[in-house]
Amino acid sequence: MSLHQPSPIDVQHSEPSGEFSQEERKTLLHLAHESILSALEGRKISLDPSTPHFAEPRGAFTSLYLHGMLRGCVGYVLPVSSIYRTVAETARAAAFEDARFHPVTLEEAPHLQIELSILSPPKPIAAEAVEVGRHGLLISTPFRRGLLLPQVPIEHHWDRLTFLEQTCRKAGLPSDAWQKGAVLEAFTAEVFGEKPQTGGN
C-alpha cells in the first residue's frame, strides 16, 4: 500500500460528452497519480490496460499542478503506445523529467492535481481551417517541431493568427514559418482533470 495517497479524485468535467466515461477518466487520473507515487516509493505498478479501450494507441499529455501553479507537463504527440501506458509514462516524465522544474518530491505528490489531454492523431491542415478552441497545432521543419494544446489559445485569448504565430515560436521558428514551408498539422484533445484548466504546456 502507498504511504502517501492523493486526495479522492474529483473530475472537474461532471458528465463527459466525449470519448471517455466518468469512470474511465477517474481510472486514468488514478493511474497518473500511482505512476508518480510508485516511482517515489520504489515500487512497480501494472501497465497492462484494464480494458480494450485503454489498449488503443494514442498520444497524450499530462499536466501537473501544485497550489494552482503548473508543476510539470510532458506528452507524446504521436500514438507510440497504448493510452494506459502513455498516461503512466507521461505522468512520471512530467513529475521528474520536465527540465523547467525540479523533480516532484514525496511530500508534494499527495497535493498534485492532474490534467490529462488525450490526443487524436495529428493530420495536415490548412491555416484557414484551424479552429481556436477545437484544434491543437503541431508545426514542424526537418530540424524543429513545436506543439500547443487546444486549450492554450483559449486561456490566452488568442485569435487564429496569434495561435499560428505562437506555435511557430514554440518551435523556435520565425512567427510566419507556417506561411513559408513548415508543415502544419492539427489534432483534437479530450481534456479532463482535477482542477479548472489554467496553464498550458
Span 93-150, pLDDT tens digits: 999 999 999 999 999 999 999 999 999 889 999 999 999 999 999 999 999 999 998 9
Domain CATH for 140: 3.30.1490.150
Let me know: does 158 contact 150? Beta carbons within 8 Å. Answer: no
- Which segments of the chain are extended strands (E)? 60-66, 69-76, 113-119, 123-124, 136-140, 145-148, 183-187, 189-193
Residue 46, burial from CB neighbour count under 10 angstroms (0-12, 13-18, 19+): exposed
Same domain? 110 vs 74? yes
Range of the domain at 177: 123-188
Same domain? 115 vs 129? no
Cβ within 8 Å of residue 105, ≥6 positions away = 40
Q: What is the mean pLDDT of residues 159-170?
A: 97
Same domain? 48 vs 65? yes
pLDDT at 46 (0 to 100): 85
| % of the chain residues with pLDDT over 70 | 88
